[in-house]
Structure 1
Amino acid sequence: MTDYRTPAVVAPEAPSTPGAEQAPLLRVEGLTVVLSSGATRGVVLDSVSFSVGAGRTTGLIGESGSGKTMSAMAIVRLLPEGAETSGRVIWGTQDLLEAPARRMREVRGHEIGVIFQDPLSALNPLQTVGKQIGETLRRGGMPRAQVRARVLELLDRVGIPDPEQRIGVYPHEMSGGMRQRVMIATALAGSPRLIIADEPTTALDVTTQARILRLLADLRDSDGVAMLLVSHDLRVMAHVADDVVVMYAGRVAERGRADAVLARPRHPYTRALANNVPAVTTKSAIAEPLRGAPANPFDRPPGCAFHPRCPLAQAVCRTTTPELREVEPGRFSACHFAEEVGS
């Protein structure tokens, strides 16, 4: 059994960023999403709550199917057709789940930018990158004479060489890293206050990943842009995120400051994830495989959804769903034995 007293991740202290003491820029409260598959209904998000502070990066962590992307897309109402959504997504003074479609079109792009996981699929193959970046600007009423200059500025801002040459190329003519930079430029076009980045470094080589992450960190630090970063990679979170939300089976397993959560998890799932990342695991930590497969939202086990894979599971875990509770100031865990995990 893993020694739960041994820190598994050495995370740098969360950087001091603008707006850290301000009220949250975005509040997600009790977000629940139900999807149907034939005659079967599944709760893919179950009472998810977290916030994103101005000028801060909040990371959503978890395995594939944990609800990270679903949470991010629910915020901007880009869910599959037929999804049933409840809860609240507070942006300023408005609940985005209740906002009319016209208002959401204003929010997406101009107030909240989205960087999708696969830029090749997200970008239009029949339009030049310059035209696609400029679309948000044109919709926002910018005079056409100014659009080209702004697009060139954005291409330069995200580190694309020779913007004058690149503005007229098509997505397939660019490398994966360049396409991801185009996605970032598109997300920045409307000067948003929040950027949602869904696995922005997936399928990129290590060097390109580092460049993209540095770019996102620079945007946060220099422009004060808040980030909601979706990733399964704890190494990314350890170096970029100020706060993290660990998700499992559509629920929040743990949340708090990134340095605290990654250095001393208070949920067995977080501990298991951390112990399987050699690059950020201390020499004294024991790498223990994460047993089994993630819970199926259409066939969720009773009690704690993680109990079939948990080395600490006891009878109460199999019958009673643990509530997300504050286990120390600013730290929340949905585990019956959070104190034992963190001791």
Structure 2
Amino acid sequence: MAQHEALLQVDGLTVDLPGTRGDVRVVDGVSFDVPAGSTVGLIGESGSGKTMTANAIIGLLPDGARTGGRLLWRGEDLLHADVARRRKARGHEISMIFQDPLAALNPTQRIGRQVGEILRRDGVGRAEVRRRVVELLDRAGVPDPAERANRYPHEFSGGLRQRAMIALALAGNPSLLLADEPTTALDVTVQGRILRLLRSIQESDGLSVLLVSHDLRVVANVAQQVVVMYAGRVAERGPAPQVLRRPAHPYTKALVRSVPAVRTKTALADPLPGAPATPANRPAGCPFHPRCPIAQDRCRVDVPPVREVAPGRFSACHFAEEVLAP
């Protein structure tokens, strides 16, 4: 598949979860593409639906969840595939790096056994599993991988646990990595090392990466495309450099301003006012209107559709052209 051709197409994805007052639509009509060989950043505040979107792609949703729309994986709709097909895709074709490796890893099993689980399921012999586990840990930057394969997760530092998770995710030789806040619990130095590792692996293997993050600096450092979510919906999407330098949605603009400008003399941030809307308390009209400095009457009534406002730039704002204008 040629680079920039869509490997994954998320088309009108919806996720409904059961609640005490009925179902809650936590992902509402989300659409975007993940091109082959590229990194797409999925960003937004807590409760924006970005992690639930990633979980829906890999098929790890809570009991009772209902989904709609399409997930076209190389043209095949995985959302409506049978359980066996989705299980086969998970791990071998699409893998996930979870936000908290200590919670994701089994504390009662050695690291090597967990990394090699998918290989054993595929019928790989014991000696070959051992060799490939050591190779995977070494590739993920785990020092002395042969010895550390025999250790338990609690014996690893946070950075090494995340490297072990990366090795586990690569064991099935996937084409797409879903990375859910992979650097959140790490200090800045270790964050940089993990991001460089992911970028190196992506470039050498031609992997596609969907990077879920609330940190614009992380996304700006690695992503070619960005999808901004708010209250379970897409607010804006397009090429990362363009979106982050000249946003076409007031929410994206506010997010960018909320990041400390570390290269300036003041390094002051401009925090977003108010509390973020969530799918459970999504207001009528544009969900961002209670916090939006340019909101008008129609914003409180009419839901703005996601529309192309410039070549390759999409925004769900009635006044996107005005926001985009210099």
Write the distance in 1 (CA, Å) between the matches of 2:86 and 2:264.
45
In structure 2, the residue matched to 1:11 is none
**1:183-242 deviation digits (Å, cap 9, x = unpaired):** 000000011000000000011011110000000110111111110000000000111001
In structure 1, the residue matched to 2:52 is 70
Q: RCO higher in 1 or 2 (8 Å CA, sep ≥ 6)?
A: 1
Do the aligned partners of 1:33 and 1:43 also contact (CA within 8 Å) in 2?
Answer: yes
Deviation at 1:283, TM superposition (A): 7.0
Write the distance in 1 (CA, Å) between the matches of 2:177 and 2:263.
29
Q: Read off the aligned partner of 1:190 and give its amino acid letter.
A: G
Q: TM-score, normalised by structure 1?
A: 0.92
SS of residue matched to 2:116: helix
In structure 2, the residue matched to 1:170 is 152
Do the aligned partners of 1:41 and 1:298 also contact (CA within 8 Å) in 2?
Answer: no
Q: Read off the aligned partner of 2:301 and give its amino acid letter.
A: T
Deviation at 1:284, TM superposition (A): 10
Write the distance in 2 (CA, Å) between the matches of 1:281 and 1:300.
36
Write the distance in 1 (CA, Å) between the matches of 2:19 and 2:148.
43
In structure 2, the residue matched to 1:10 is none
1:206 partnered with 2:185: no
Gaps of 5+ in 1: 1-17
Q: TM-score, normalised by structure 2?
A: 0.96
In structure 2, the residue matched to 1:37 is 19
Deviation at 1:280, TM superposition (A): 5.8
1:260 partnered with 2:246: no
Write the distance in 1 (CA, Å) between the matches of 2:121 and 2:262.
44
In structure 2, the residue matched to 1:333 is 315
SS of residue matched to 1:40: coil
Deviation at 1:282, TM superposition (A): 6.2
Alignment RMSD (CA, Å): 1.6
Write the distance in 1 (CA, Å) between the matches of 2:267 and 2:120.
53
Do the aligned partners of 2:261 and 2:269 also contact (CA within 8 Å) in 1?
Answer: no
Distance 1:42 1:282, change over 3 A: farther
Write the distance in 1 (CA, Å) between the matches of 2:154 and 2:103.
10
Do the aligned partners of 1:304 and 1:317 also contact (CA within 8 Å) in 2?
Answer: yes
**Structure 2 counterpart of 1:95, from 77, 85, 95:** 77
Gaps of 5+ in 2: none
Do the aligned partners of 2:306 and 2:314 also contact (CA within 8 Å) in 1?
Answer: yes
Write the distance in 2 (CA, Å) between the matches of 1:140 and 1:293.
47
Write the distance in 1 (CA, Å) between the matches of 2:299 and 2:321.
15
Deviation at 1:139, TM superposition (A): 1.3
SS of residue matched to 1:169: coil
Deviates more, 1:133-142 or 1:176-185: 133-142
In structure 1, the residue matched to 2:254 is 272
Q: Read off the aligned partner of 2:100 and give its amino acid letter.
A: D
SS of residue matched to 1:230: strand
In structure 2, the residue matched to 1:13 is none
Deviation at 1:135, TM superposition (A): 0.4
In structure 2, the residue matched to 1:307 is 289
In structure 1, the residue matched to 2:274 is 292
Write the distance in 1 (CA, Å) between the matches of 2:146 and 2:236.
46
SS of residue matched to 1:90: strand
**1:86-135 deviation digits (Å, cap 9, x = unpaired):** 00001123211111111112111111111011101100011100000000
**1:266-310 deviation digits (Å, cap 9, x = unpaired):** 000000000011146767998432111111312211100000000
Do the aligned partners of 2:226 and 2:243 also contact (CA within 8 Å) in 1?
Answer: yes
